[in-house]
Structure 1
Amino acid sequence: MYLGNVPLWDLVVYRVAGLEPDSRLGSGVHFFLADTVKITLLLVGIIFVATIARSFLSLERTRALLGGRREGVANVAAAGLGVATPFCSCSAVPAFIGFVAAGVPLGVTLSFLIASPLINEVAVVLLYGMFGLRIATLYIGSGLVIATVGGYVLGRVCPQRWVEPFVYTTTLHGAPVVAGQRLSWPDRVALGREEAGKILRKVWPYLLAGIALGAAIHGWAPTDFFARAAGAHNPFAPLIAVLLGVPLYSNAAGILPLIQALHDKGMAMGTLLAFMMSVVALSLPELILLRRVLKPQLLAAFVGVVATAILATGYLFNAIL
């Protein structure tokens, strides 16, 4: 179903409905339908598998394996896993929910959430082709540092209190599952099915709202305005780039043609990287979906830490490049 999702909507939207792939309406409708199905499949599948896996390993043992003094190492590992699973920002949220529900420390899980959309192997290859090895290496290194440090810092503020309680509560046939409870395989499958359904019922309005917003702004990026607002001689250019990047929604590979166009108009490389990182790591659709899982305090802290790290990266690269 996942592999056939995009070809199905290509057929329905472009062949049956007759909408143009290059038009704002056609690409927006296709984006909404394809991403709704894709993210729903990811959400249900990951929660189902994570819940069954959790039934074999207690919450306390999971935290003991991944927490405590090993948490810094676990943040690096989570960032590396994010690089290996390059989702867009909204697609990374189902995996984030599954990891949190399975008892992985929240700071470690946030490192994954930051790294997965931020570092994309296709973007690395394209950056290398456009700007050379140095820029591609700086992009990878800065992304890993932002994800590792950002998740570690957020994990230090005891963020578990700012996660909605339903994420941590697993039920079977309406009753909470207690530690040490013996479960058969049919019980485990039922557990996974019920947990996936419970979380989907909780988040679906936010999921649709986030994807609808992403579809509305999909492909909207006026290069002339960006070039004027965040030009090479503006000392606030990286800050403006981050503020302009957050409302947009794209993956790293999808934003690179715009980065190339802005580079040709004279924008500084640090400003361009800050803009690209803010687009892929802090999209409004992602934040809308995360709001159903995270309370406002943690959501604000997540945005603040990641945006500050991206902003610092932009100024640093402008100074050294």
Structure 2
Amino acid sequence: MVDLGSLVLLMSIFGAKIAIVYVVVGLVIVVVGGTIIEKMHMENYVEEFIRNASSVDIELDTLTVKDRLVYAKEQVVETFKKVFPYILIGVGIGAVIHNWIPESWIQTVLGSNNPFGVVLAVFVGVPMYADIFGTIPVAEALLAKGAQLGTILSFMMAVTTLSLPSIIMLKKAVKPKLLGLFIGICTAGIIIVGYLFNVFQYLLI
């Protein structure tokens, strides 16, 4: 949900103010959610194979400058291959929103006249599977069509944090009670943030 790539991309599209606030708010959700889970002592709800995994210390060889450059190149190529499909999908969805979905429909469903716009955006985002790079073109198209800022950011957070495939993978690592708590904290945090951004949108745009 929050990384250097998202900060740079958000700045280029929405401006520095929105990007910084998005990152700060994301970090607040992380810290508050993590603190709540820690205080509830949920260690026993992590799957056994993770809790019993032994740490492995590997002595790393000294890398030459050439080795580092080769490694860096491989990492760039690998990251590009992972991210590029999501960017294409996001651009495609954004193009459909720009050209086919009426502006009045977006404003009705995700605009200021719908008090449940944030909640709808979260539930729409859950079945999708993308990272922050794939959601930004969609967010840009929604903003251009008149959707509220908080609603758009809630959608982005839901896609990157609560996507169904991610939850299915996470279920293999944690037990249902901890997974449910994680989902509840994230959902509540994202919805609260969405409404706050909608209320104070005039200060950011």
Does the pair score TM above 0.5?
yes
Report the AA paired with residue 241 of structure 1. Answer: A
Distance in 2 (alpha carbons) for counterparts of 1:153 and 1:307: 14
Distance in 1 (alpha carbons) for counterparts of 2:127 and 2:112: 22
Residues 212-268 of structure 1 show CA distances to partners (whole Å, capped at 9, x for unaligned) of xxx9xx658563398253233111111111111111111112211110100011000
Distance in 2 (alpha carbons) for counterparts of 1:291 and 1:263: 34
Distance in 2 (alpha carbons) for counterparts of 1:148 and 1:311: 16
Distance in 2 (alpha carbons) for counterparts of 1:129 and 1:236: 29
Distance in 2 (alpha carbons) for counterparts of 1:257 and 1:170: 40
Does structure 2 retain, via aligned residues, the 8 Å contact 1:232–1:266?
Answer: no
Give the C-alpha shift of residue 169 in structure 1.
2.0
Q: Provide the secondary structure at the position in 2 that maps to 1:248.
A: coil
Report the AA paired with residue 178 of structure 2. Answer: L
Cα–Cα, structure 1 residues 165 and 129, in superposed 2: closer, same or farther, change >3 Å?
same
Match for residue 160 of structure 1? 43
Match for residue 244 of structure 1? 124
Residues 263-299 of structure 1 show CA distances to partners (whole Å, capped at 9, x for unaligned) of 0110000111111111111111111111111111111
Cα RMSD after superposing both structures: 2.6
Match for residue 140 of structure 1? 23
Match for residue 68 of structure 2? none
Does structure 2 retain, via aligned residues, the 8 Å contact 1:130–1:260?
Answer: yes
Report the AA paired with residue 144 of structure 1. Answer: L
Give the C-alpha shift of residue 162 in structure 1.
1.1
Report the AA paired with residue 125 of structure 1. Answer: V
Report the AA paired with residue 237 of structure 1. Answer: G
Give the C-alpha shift of residue 170 in structure 1.
4.0
Task: List alignment gaps of at least 5 residues for structure 2.
Answer: 59-85
Aligned counterparts, 1:77-226, within 5 A: 118-170=1-53, 221=93, 223=97, 224=101
Structure number, greater radius of gyration: 1
Aligned residues: 164
Give the C-alpha shift of residue 127 in structure 1.
1.8
Match for residue 91 of structure 1? none
Distance in 2 (alpha carbons) for counterparts of 1:138 and 1:314: 12
Which of 288, 302, 309 is equivalent to 2:182? 302
Q: Provide the secondary structure at the position in 1 that maps to 2:111.
A: coil
TM score, norm. by length of structure 1: 0.47
Report the AA paired with residue 161 of structure 1. Answer: N
Give the C-alpha shift of residue 123 in structure 1.
2.3
Aligned identity (percent) is: 37
Distance in 1 (alpha carbons) for counterparts of 2:143 and 2:26: 20
Aligned counterparts, 1:56-67, within 5 A: none
Match for residue 162 of structure 2? 282
Task: List alignment gaps of at least 5 residues for structure 1.
Answer: 1-117, 172-176, 178-186, 190-214
Distance in 2 (alpha carbons) for counterparts of 1:170 and 1:289: 18
Which of 172, 180, 191 is equivalent to 1:292? 172
